[in-house]
Structure 1
């Protein structure tokens, strides 16, 4: 149930998603630092622009993929009973999918 089927693909997914999330975080920190008196209107203006909505959606998807690869690795390393590991993996997948769907509703709802 790994994401890419090979360790190399999973490793690359971890690195690319981490790079995008790092850039996204630096942008948000820069935005906050540039707006000393940050108000609701500033956030609304930022997050209603289409490029920011798409970037935020991509960030949510990156978080889900990044978390899945990391948690799958931990589960396969430390949870040896087959049924328990698959149940936990299912719960994690369902939860991450729910978070992405919830994020879509927050962004465009």
Structure 2
């Protein structure tokens, strides 16, 4: 004879908590550091022109760093928008459609950003 104590609670989004909170903070720090590196290159040097801008991104290390920051930005945006959809959109079908649209949009933005980055 087993006895159950307490109520059974359906946990839907609660398991994301710490992992996503930490991911948001890490990606934010990464994007802030990238901004500092980019500003340092723009401020300390010759006046800003297309040639200088293209020169900044011509180095392989800068392209790689920018690619990593683009991925971090997309993950940061995904965590935030997913949490908004989960918190405020109650009908499951509408929420799912918005999440799928968000994923497709973010993947499209990633493709466009990478294409622009490697054209320089």
| Structure 1 residues without counterparts, runs of 5 or longer | none
TM-score (norm 2): 0.82
Conserved 8 A contact 2:41-2:56: no
2:72 to 51, 62, 72: 62
TM-score (norm 1): 0.90
| Structure 2 residues without counterparts, runs of 5 or longer | 1-11
Higher relative contact order (CA closer than 8 Å, sequence separation 6+): 1
Spell out structure 1 runs of 4+ moving beyond 6 A.
Answer: none
In 2, the alpha carbon distance for the partners of 1:33 and 1:108 equals 23
> Residues 33-85 of structure 1, C-alpha deviation per residue, up to 9 Å, x if partnerless?
21351121111111011001011111111110000001111111110110000
> Which residue does 1:32 correspond to in 2?
42
Q: When you count helix as a share of all residues, which structure comes out higher?
A: 1
Q: CA RMSD in A?
A: 1.7
How many residues are aligned here?
A: 107
2:81 to 71, 74, 81: 71
